[in-house]
Amino acid sequence: MLEIFYDKNNLILQNHTKKHVKFDTKTDKVFLEDFDVSHPGEYEKFGVLLEVKEYNDILFYKLLIEGKHVCIVTVDKFELKEEILSFFWDVDVLIIVGTKDAVKVFENIEAKVVIPYTDGKDVFLNTLSQHGEEVSKFKSAGEIPGDITQFINLK
């Protein structure tokens, strides 16, 4: 089971064994448990595969955790070329900075679940006419249906 929730400024992606990936939303750094993976490359730890790609001096993260493809996008503006868009194939969960400009980025990435973060997440959700209530956790045990994109407003 994949669970995603906040622990202070950190977005935690936790697997069924309670091992986790920590995304510090203030510094945009990502950690596999305590191992800093905020550098380009491929990593594997406790069954989590992670690819960190650098494009135009920006880091993008793609994880395979609990059978789910999770991408983390920390910026709202970058050149949307095929070179980077191909990195975002088959996205189950998209964690994206919550701004009005990030809507254009989201619209170019097909994701089944979208979780915006930062204080501007309400602007992101309102721009897309998504007004879901805040929830404390996102949980996914099975396959995520792909016919409709789910927007999750984490508190």
- 73-105 tens-digit pLDDT: 999 999 889 889 999 988 999 999 999 999 999
Residue that is written with structure tokens 């990435």 in the block: 109
pLDDT above 90 for 20:
yes
Pairing of strands 20-24, 29-32: antiparallel
Ordered domains of the chain (ranges, CATH):
2-154 (3.60.15.10)
pLDDT above 90 for 131:
no
Q: What's the pLDDT score for residue 119? A: 87
Whole-number Cα distances in Å, 27 to 38, 69, 81, 148: 10, 23, 26, 31
Question: How would you label 22-48 residue by residue, b for 16+ Cβ within 10 Å and e otherwise?
Answer: bbebeeebbbbeeeebeeeeebeeeeb
Q: How many CB atoms lie within 10 A of CB 98?
A: 24
Summarize pLDDT for 23-58 with one digit per residue, the tens.
999 999 999 999 999 999 999 999 999 999 999 999
Q: What's the pLDDT score for residue 92? A: 97
Q: Tell how far CA 146 is from the center of its chain.
A: 16
pLDDT above 90 for 111:
yes
Mean of per-residue pLDDT scores for the chain: 94
Predicted TM-score (pTM) of this structure: 0.95
